[in-house]
Structure 1
Amino acid sequence: MHPLSTINNPLFEELSQQYGTPLYVYDGGIVRRQVHNLQAAFQGVDMHIKYACKANTNLALMRLMRSLGVEVDVVSMGEMHMALLAGYSPRQITFTPSGVPFGEVREAVEAGATVNVDSLPLLEWFGQTYGSSKPCLIRLKPNVAAGGNFKIMTGHSDSKFGISVDLLDEILEIVKRYDLKIIGLHQHTGSDIKEAEAFLQAAEVIFKAALRFPDLQIIDLGGGFKVAYKPEDAVTDMQHLGQEITKGFQEFCKNYGRELQLWFEPGKYLVSECGYLLVRATVIKEDPARTFVHVDSGLNHLIRPMMYGAYHHILNVSNPEGVPHTYNVVGYICETDTFATDRTLPEVRPGDLLAFLNAGAYGFTMSSHYNARYRPAEVLIDEGKATLVRRRDTLDDLLRSQLDLA
């Protein structure tokens, strides 16, 4: 069994027989572990975890997060309403939009969420609309490039996210004009960051800017902690990161004159490793150039390999001791749809059950009905109990919002 996997083969087989494939399975124990690791790394500061729920909006996982003392960051009204359904109070919800219609911001404010302002036009509108009557955070762009993939870097100078720190004078002019109540500064550098130095570099930019805002309560350093995709992958040393950032944050608070809250917004870090996508091999196609393993899923269920070139480790659950062969593992969507290229796996036979690891983040939440395919069921295993937390789609789900005008 691969060291990243904590669920045994017989249980994978049992769940696939009970609920069919493809099937998403989540291990609540891993979520608990990741939350604990993050909480334990930041001793001596008032640290708050805001789960970036765009990674996975299953209500069962969100309720588990809430039970562990984790609050929530949302990027849409749909996510906000799901957070409310999961039992979060509006004061536990931060709305971090990116260029949305201002009507969404109004809806979030009136529901009681705290808004994270990401542009000068929105800051101007917020001032005109609310003045000093409603608090907000400001998302700054620190102009720091860090992370494992340019598509998911968000703090560099060409990123669409946040207000460039180079525009700090313009920000302060708007704040003064409308007497805005700025309670926090936020930045999010990117994803797959394993070194403390990248966080500290961005944090220093935010700390320096913060000295010009006298009424802050919060410094939000985003997320982006590195998780393991391959057995040999380096990950964020959370203990070292916590020590270094805590030291820098405590020094900042001393200079600022009082203690502030320190926020983080992890998504992938909390749920990536908890998730498995179970699929069945359908056809083994021998070709002069390649041997293809076709499976009963595709980019409609897990788009990360095609969209980001992401690596997902694959287990042959049915034949873990088989003779190794090299395969291309491909999906059933009617276009290039490759999960893995030149991947060495124990011999795969038609009907074998395969498990894709690290499928808990941006798996189901980015899924679609492309090719009129049904989305999978989801199962949560927590404290020794497996629970179906989303049923498999049916034809009714594909047709539910269509209007038959014939």
Structure 2
Amino acid sequence: MNNSDLIRIAQEYGSPVYVYDAEKITSQYKRLTDAFSGVPKLRLNYAAKALSNISILKLMNSLGSGLDTVSVQEVQLGLRAGFKPEDIIFTPNGVSLEELEQVAAMGVQINIDNLSILEQFGSKHPDIPVCIRINPHVMAGGNTNISVGHIDSKFGISIHQIPHLLRIVENTGMHINGIHMHTGSDILDIEVFLYASEILFENARNFKDLEFIDFGSGFKVPYKPDDIATDVAELGAKLTARFNEFCAETGKDLTLAFEPGKFLVSEAGYFITKVNVVKQTTSTVFAQVDSGFNHLIRPMFYNSYHHIYNLTNPGGKERFYSVVGYICETDTFANNRRIAAISEGDLLCFKNAGAYCFSMASNYNSRYRPAEVLWLNGQAHLIRKRETFDDLLHNQVEVSLEVPEQETPAT
């Protein structure tokens, strides 16, 4: 897919528009499977929360992926997309016992990350296999905005609570078939990740009926030109050797699992916007586009970087711009960014727009959410229509309000 293809998509489906490259998703999936080809039993569970369009889920299913879900709705989407219940893992945080039971009844693997629900579920359903999420108190990810491995994190059961966890398992007679961790996003230091893995291996020895170990994910992808990323080949070689050694030590035929989301879809995504206004102030040149944090909130919410380039004038002389949106609130995508000369009507393309972009979109300011397009086998396929005014009113109930007449006060 090239710039001309992206321009044609924007012309056909309007802007703003999200575009996803199926070939890039496929190649990223293959990178991971190749990196861990030495593991006899490998399971990659795509993290649906990154991008949950049902056509993307169907693509993942066709690649042989499993599915990592965090809500009963994602589970239902996964089943609708063709995933078998046994190929889905449910890893929520802070959900009710009722939701957990609802998902378990579907035949999906559940993953519990707190002692209270673990004890309640184990007491009622000791025969249903359960995975437990451990917090190793190791922060292997470089993105502090979405850290989950620190000691005050709401995620996972602390390694310091393992004795309590084991008492619950013994008292309820429940069946623990998996153990899981997630240390954070944007992993760069492989040795820190491997250190956290050792904690997981050590705790895995406590469960005689273990079937799999899930190491989460958080693999970093490049965001800027010449950016650094997780060396998945090195990680694959080192963790594969240690995993196989652990299986030999314990005599267990275990599955090694990951739950990649951003790694699979981030670089496959492009977000195309049109420049409405080029506004010069005393100190800044603003490129104001036909979007805002209602469509792409990551720069404002996570301070994340998205490389932006001018699709219409890619070879133009570079100038400095602040790229902002049309929301009546501060919605800055980029400050003082070098971009080829921008004119009103130009199309700007945001890269790394596949993960946590459309999935976090809203109707703030009563704006429509954009269309989504999948580039597959050299053709553009519409996988979500642009919203309309009727979509804004859908599920709203218009109440007929009659204002009572006010009585004239007595004189």
Q: In the TM superposition, what are the counterparts of 1:84-163 in structure 2 within 5 Å? A: 84-131=79-126, 133-163=127-157
Moved over 3 A (4+): none
1:271 aligns with 2:252: no
Secondary structure of 2:224's aligned partner: coil
SS at match of 1:17: helix
Alpha-carbon distance in structure 2 between the residues aligned to 1:303 and 1:82: 24
1:195 corresponding residue in structure 2 = 189
Contact 1:192 1:224 in 2 (8 A): yes
Alpha-carbon distance in structure 1 between the residues aligned to 2:331 and 2:67: 33
Partners of 2:131 and 2:10 in 1: how far apart?
A: 45
Deviations 1:203-247 (A, max 9, x none): 100000111111101000001001000012111111111001001
1:50 is the counterpart of 2:45: yes
Partner of 1:181: 175
Counterpart in the other structure of 1:378? 372
Query: Which among 32, 39, 52 is matched to residue 38 of structure 1?
Result: 32
Deviation at 1:198, TM superposition (A): 2.4
Letter of the structure 2 residue corresponding to residue 90 of structure 1: P
AA partner of residue 64 (structure 1): L
Look up the equivalent residue of 2:154 and give its one-letter code. Answer: K
| 1:358 Cα deviation from its structure 2 partner | 0.2
Aligned partners of 1:196 and 1:244 also within 8 Å: no
CA distance in 2, matches of 1:188, 1:42: 18
Query: Are 2:382 and 1:388 aligned?
Result: yes
TM-superposed deviation, 1:259? 2.1
Amino acid at match of 1:385: Q
Work out whether residues 140 and 189 of structure 2, in 8 Å CA contact, stay in contact via their aligned partners in 1. Answer: no
Matching of residue 76 in structure 1 with residue 62 in structure 2: no
What is the alpha-carbon distance in structure 1 between the residues aligned to residue 116 and residue 128 of structure 2? 17
Corresponding residue for residue 167 of structure 1? 161
Corresponding residue for 1:67? 62
Q: Residue 10 of structure 2 contacts residue 272 of structure 2 at CA under 8 Å; is this kept in 1?
A: yes
Query: What amino acid does structure 1 have at the position aligned with 2:73?
Result: G
Counterpart contact for 1:51–1:71, Cα < 8 Å: yes
1:253 to partner: Cα distance: 1.1
SS of structure 2 residue aligned to 1:288? coil
Cα pair 1:195 1:241 within 8 Å, conserved: no
Deviation at 1:78, TM superposition (A): 1.1
- Answer whether contact 1:195 1:237 (CA < 8 A) is retained: no
Q: 1:321 Cα shift?
A: 1.1
2:353 alignment counterpart: 359
Measure how far apart 1:335 and its partner are: 0.4
TM-score (norm: length of structure 2) = 0.96
Tell me, in whole angstroms, the C-alpha distance in 2 between the residues paired with 1:321 and 1:258: 58
Q: Tell me what 2:407 maps to.
A: none
Is contact 1:196–1:245 with CA below 8 Å preserved after alignment? no
Match of 1:3 in 2: none
Paired residue secondary structure (1:306) = helix
How far the C-alpha of 1:159 sits from its partner, in A, is 0.9
Amino acid at match of 1:267: G
1:294 to 2:276 alignment: no
8 Å contact 2:139–2:147 — kept in the other structure? yes
Cα displacement (A) at 1:148: 2.3
Note the aligned Cα RMSD (angstroms). 0.8
Instruction: Structure 1 unaligned segments of length 5 or more: list them.
Output: 1-6
Q: Report the residue type matching 1:380 in the other structure.
A: L
Contact between 1:199 and 1:221, CA under 8 Å: does it hold in 2?
no
Equivalent residue pairs, number: 399
1:295-315 CA-partner distances (Å, limit 9, x unpaired): 000100000000000000011
Which of 212, 219, 223 matches 1:229? Answer: 223
Deviations 1:153-211 (A, max 9, x none): 11111111000011000000000001110001000011110232122111100000111
Structure 2 distance, partners of 1:151, 1:319, is: 34
- Measure how far apart 1:101 and its partner are: 1.2
1:283 matched to which residue of 2? 277
Q: Aligned residue for 1:344? A: 338
Q: Given that residues 18 and 371 in structure 2 are in contact (C-alpha distance below 8 angstroms), is that contact kept between their aligned partners in structure 1? A: yes
Give the share of equivalent positions with the same residue, in percent: 49
Return 5+ residue gaps in structure 2 as ranges: 401-411
Which residue of 1 is the match for residue 391 of structure 2? 397
Per-residue deviation, residues 349-376 of structure 1 (Å, max 9, x unmatched) = 0000010000000010000000000000
Match of 1:23 in 2: 17
Q: Which amino acid aligns with 1:155?
A: G
Q: Distance in 2 between matches of 1:394 and 1:309?
A: 30
Counterpart-to-counterpart distance in 1, 2:317 and 2:16: 25
Q: Secondary structure at the match of 1:285?
A: strand
Q: Distance in 1 between matches of 2:159 and 2:262?
A: 26
